[in-house]
Structures are given as structure tokens and as C-alpha cells.
Amino acid sequence: MQQFDALIIGFGKAGKTVAAGLAKKGWKVALVEKDEEMYGGTCINIACIPTKALVHDGLHGKPYQEAIERKNAVVEKLRGKNYASLAGLDEVTVFHATARFLSDKEVEIDRDGTKETVKAKHIFINTGAESIIPPIKGDVNAENVYTSTTLMETKELPERLAVVGAGPIGLEFASMYASFGSEVTLISPDDALLPDEDEEIASEVQKEMEAAGISFEFSVKAERIEKRENGSVRLSLSDGGQVTADAVLLATGRKPNTEGLGLENTGVQMDDHGAIKVNANLETAVEGIYALGDVKGGPQFTYISLDDSRIVMDALFKDGKRTRDSRSNVPYSIFIDPPLARVGLTARQAEAQGFAIMEGSLEIVAHPKAHVIDDLRGLFKAVVDKKTGHILGASLFGPSSPELINLIKMAMDLDVTYTFLRDQIYNHPVMTEAFNTLFDIEK
Ligand SMILES: Cc1cc2nc3c(=O)[nH]c(=O)nc-3n(C[C@H](O)[C@H](O)[C@H](O)COP(=O)(O)OP(=O)(O)OC[C@H]3O[C@@H](n4cnc5c(N)ncnc54)[C@H](O)[C@@H]3O)c2cc1C
């Protein structure tokens, strides 16, 4: 039996960051990853990086096959760098194996049937999440029915793509495949696009996606998939309608990856969604076992995983004051065309919470930089507390919004009033100067 100071299950964003941090402290670390193609985790191999490389190439006119090849090269390079950065450390042993708990302190690692037991005082679960396959009848396992992972492995662009699910992944893939030239139909159970976003922004998003050739089927569920003789598939919808496509993407969410982890042999507890229950410092019900990243539930973002690693390092080596509850104003972006970014509350949400508000609004067509880059699409909106002048939230649909949103997040964290962003001297012509106008609202 091998003994380590720390055992990390999953070479994901949180796991690899904790491994490097513990190694710096001189801890003897075992890092177990079941899939050699996943060194570095979901983000660099099958999620953020490959999708955004494809989004970029689609918008720059690269043919699909070439874009897939470039994406593969980028992923391979990053995977190699990630592996080397940890495997090259004396303190870290990387095991290519599947981990399964035998007890609170012992984990079996299985390398193609060769099993050994590893013991560690501290164990970190970072096993991520996996695509949910919805309960659709018929040929749901047909070769042209994909998840986000497998669709990006195809070398041929589907002529017609049906996307089931209109969350961030469904929207990004719809936009991306439309940019390569697929005819895309998006199927959503909601009665409108982006129900949690500002209504005016959501309708702008729909307008631009429709202008890109994407069709929408709202208030329906895909109920049956039928493979047809000519290789295409037919989706039957709950309202009796049908969509015929050459490929189907199932984008109906991702669930915590706990299956086969042997948690039943431990005191670790899970919630009703299969997420591992943790306290504010990310420790599970068992002392010394932590859960980080997607597997613990909550927002599924790489930067949340990174922050989880900081929380755990703080708990182990500092005062433990950095917690899950101290995270504030977490922004997010959806990389459609143009991109959408959001932080804090929409006007409707702020009013529902009892705030008296002021709203700033800027159509991108009125912004000089938009004319420089010849992209006049989009709308920026901001919500301000009338009483204090503090920014409550912003929804930015337009060029560079995933970068700009971080500035608004910082202003919110610093508790400055909206006039701080309004009165800044920004250089020119850039998108940031949009804040001079967006926040030009009278108190
Ligand atoms: C298509 C897509 C696009 C996305 N785009 C973005 C984006 O633009 N920005 C963003 O911030 N987030 C994005 N996300 C979300 C982001 O990728 C995840 O939130 C993040 O990667 C989760 O990281 P993690 O730390 O939980 O672990 P992960 O990176 O998921 O790593 C978990 C690892 O554990 C391994 N593992 C699982 N079980 C075992 C076991 N029993 N034994 C050994 N190893 C095991 C897995 O193989 C995997 O490598 C996207 C997700 C998807 C699917």
C-alpha cells in the first residue's frame, strides 16, 4: 500500500492547481486521472478551450475540417503542457488509473485491472461532471446523436444540426455551427430564449441568432429520435411537430461525476442531484476529504474550480476565511456571436428584491469602436441602486463583452458608485469607453 500526504482524484482545474500548490509546500501528492486524453481536465480537453477555438475559427471563415484540426492541435499541446507541469515535479506522482473509495482513508486505484490501494491523510475529489442524456425514446444512441464532447470529434460539418437544449452550451454550439454553415434548429422547453436574462437583451440575442439563420422551437421537448434510411434523424416534438437533421446535439445539462467512485464506502454525503455535499470550506461530511469543482454542484465554470482550489489552500494553510460564501459578483459569458456577458442582477430581479433602480442602456450602433470593427450589433444595459448609486448588475451583449464584464465586476466588488465607471478616462477607440455612456444616467 502506498501512502501519500494528499490524494487527488481527477486531473481537473481544481485538482491540478491544488496538486501544484501542495507540492510547493513539500507534500507528497498522488494525482489520479482515469483518462489519458483528459490530463488537464474538462476545460482544456473537451470544453472551454476547444469550443472557443472553434468559435473563433468559425467567425474568421476557416472551413470546419481545418478548424477541427487546429482545435485538436491546441488541445494536444495544452494537455502535454499540463501533464508535464505536474509529472515533472518530484513531489507529485501521476497515476493513469480509475479511483474508487474503499473507506474514508483508502482508495483503490485500478490501472487496466491492476489494482492497488493508496492511503492519504487528505483526499480531494475533483471528478467533474458529465453530459446528461435526457429520457428521449427511440434511437438516442444512434451514431449521429452527439454530446458536446463527441460533436467536436466529427470531421464533417453536419448540413442540418438540431440542438436539444438552449442553455449556454446549446446556444454556443448553435451559434458556432451556424457560423461554419450548418442549418441549425434549437429546441427549448422554455417559452422564450434566456428566461433568466434581461428581456430586451434576450430578444436582441434571438434577433441576431435568427439573422444568423438559426431557427427556434420554443415550449417543446424532443420526445423521440428516429434514425432514417438515408442516414438522417427525425426528432418528434411534444407539440406534434418534427425536425429532421443530419446530427443532433443533446445539450440538456451536466451532472456531477460520482458514479463508480465508491462513495457508499465512505461517510461522504450527496444531495438529490448527486452532487457531493460540502461545507463553506469545501470539506465533505468526512474530515480530511474535500470536493472541488463541478462534482460539488453549483455553478459549473473553470474559474469556480480555480477559486475552489484557493478556498481549500486557504483552509489548509491560512485562516480559512476564504470560503464559498465569500465569492461575490461572479460573472459569466455565453460565447455566441456577438457574445453575451452578465454579472449581478437584471432590472426585474433587482426590483423583485425591493431595490429602487436606475437603468443605463447603450445600443452598440452608437459606439465609435463598433464602426471601426464594422460590427454594429448588440445592446449593453446596467442596473444601479437609486439610493446608493452602487451598481447592481450589468448585461452586455456585444463585442468584447466577456472582457468588459470583469471591469464591472471589480467596480461592484470595490463598492464604488456608477459614476466611477462613468467618469473614467478611457483610451480610444476601444469598447471600454462604452462605460462613459452606459453609466451616464441621472441619479
Ligand atoms: C462544452 C463546454 C463548454 C464550456 N465552456 C466553459 C467556458 O467557456 N468557461 C468556463 O469557465 N467553463 C466552461 N465550461 C465548464 C468547465 O469546463 C467546467 O466547469 C470545469 O472544467 C470543471 O472542472 P473541474 O475542476 O470540476 O474538473 P474537470 O476538469 O471536469 O476534471 C475532472 C477529471 O476527473 C477525471 N475523473 C473522473 N472520475 C474519475 C475517477 N473515478 N478516477 C480518476 N479520475 C477521474 C475526469 O476524467 C476528468 O479529467 C464548459 C463546459 C462544457 C461541457
- Per-residue pLDDT averaged across 21-42, rounded? 98
Atom of ligand 1 nearest to the CA of 14: 25
* C-alpha 365 to ligand 1 mean position (Å): 37
DSSP secondary structure code for residue 276 in this structure? B
Count of C-beta atoms within a 10 Å radius of residue 289: 24
d(C-alpha 318, C-alpha 330), whole Å? 23
Contact 188, 218 (CB under 8 A): yes
Reduce the DSSP state of residue 29 to 3 states and report it.
strand
| 369-402 residue pLDDT tens | 999 999 999 999 999 999 999 999 999 999 999 9
Amino acid 84 reads A
Amino acid 278 reads V
Going by alpha carbons, the residue nearest to atom 30 of ligand 1 is 128
442: pLDDT strictly greater than 90: no
* CA-based R_g, the chain, Å: 23
State the cell numbers at 128: 467533474
pLDDT confidence tier of residue 1, bands split at 50, 70 and 90: confident
Going by alpha carbons, the residue nearest to atom 12 of ligand 1 is 301
Probe ligand 1: pick from 249, 257, 302, max atoms within 8 Å of CB?
A: 302
DSSP 203-222: HHHHHHHHHTT-EEE-S--E
| 221-255 residue pLDDT tens | 999 999 999 999 999 999 999 999 999 999 999 99
Helix count and strand count (H, E) for the chain:
13, 23
d(C-alpha 397, C-alpha 350), whole Å? 19
Going by alpha carbons, the residue nearest to atom 31 of ligand 1 is 12
Helix (H) or strand (E) run with residue 42 in it? helix 42-46
| 98-107 residue pLDDT tens | 999 999 999 9
Helix (H) or strand (E) run with residue 116 in it? strand 114-125
Amino acid 282 reads L
* C-alpha 169 to ligand 1 mean position (Å): 13
Atom of ligand 1 nearest to the CA of 149: 1
- Per-residue pLDDT averaged across 19-48, rounded? 98
| 259-285 residue pLDDT tens | 999 999 999 999 999 999 999 999 999
The pLDDT of residue 161: 98
Atom of ligand 1 nearest to the CA of 15: 25
What is the chain's percent helix, strand, coil content, to nearest 5?
35, 25, 40
Going by alpha carbons, the residue nearest to atom 10 of ligand 1 is 301
pLDDT confidence tier of residue 435, bands split at 50, 70 and 90: very high
* C-alpha 333 to ligand 1 mean position (Å): 17
Amino acid 29 reads V
* C-alpha 440 to ligand 1 mean position (Å): 40
443: pLDDT strictly greater than 70: no
State the cell numbers at 293: 469543482
* C-alpha 238 to ligand 1 mean position (Å): 32
Contact 143, 229 (CB under 8 A): no
Beta strand pairing call for 233-237 and 391-397: unpaired
How far are the Cα atoms of 160, 177, 349 from residue 56, in angstroms, in the given order? 21, 12, 33
| 92-141 residue pLDDT tens | 999 999 999 999 999 999 999 999 999 999 999 999 999 999 999 999 99
| 416-429 residue pLDDT tens | 999 999 999 999 99
Atom of ligand 1 nearest to the CA of 98: 42
**pTM score of the predicted model:** 0.97
441: pLDDT strictly greater than 80: yes
Active-site annotation holder among 60, 96, 371, 428: 428
| 170-220 residue pLDDT tens | 999 999 999 999 999 999 999 999 999 999 999 999 999 999 999 999 999
Atom of ligand 1 nearest to the CA of 173: 1
In the residue annotation, 371 being an active-site residue is answered as: no
Contact 383, 359 (CB under 8 A): yes
- Per-residue pLDDT averaged across 301-308, rounded? 98
- Per-residue pLDDT averaged across 143-162, rounded? 97
Pocket of ligand 1 (CB under 6 A): 9-14, 32-35, 38, 41-43, 47-48, 51, 98-99, 126-128, 148, 169, 254, 257, 261, 293-295, 300-303, 305
Going by alpha carbons, the residue nearest to atom 33 of ligand 1 is 10
* C-alpha 35 to ligand 1 mean position (Å): 12
Average per-residue pLDDT in the chain? 97
Q: Which residues contact 421 (CB under 8 A, 6 or more apart)?
A: 391, 407, 408, 411, 435, 438, 439
Beta strand pairing call for 340-344 and 332-334: antiparallel
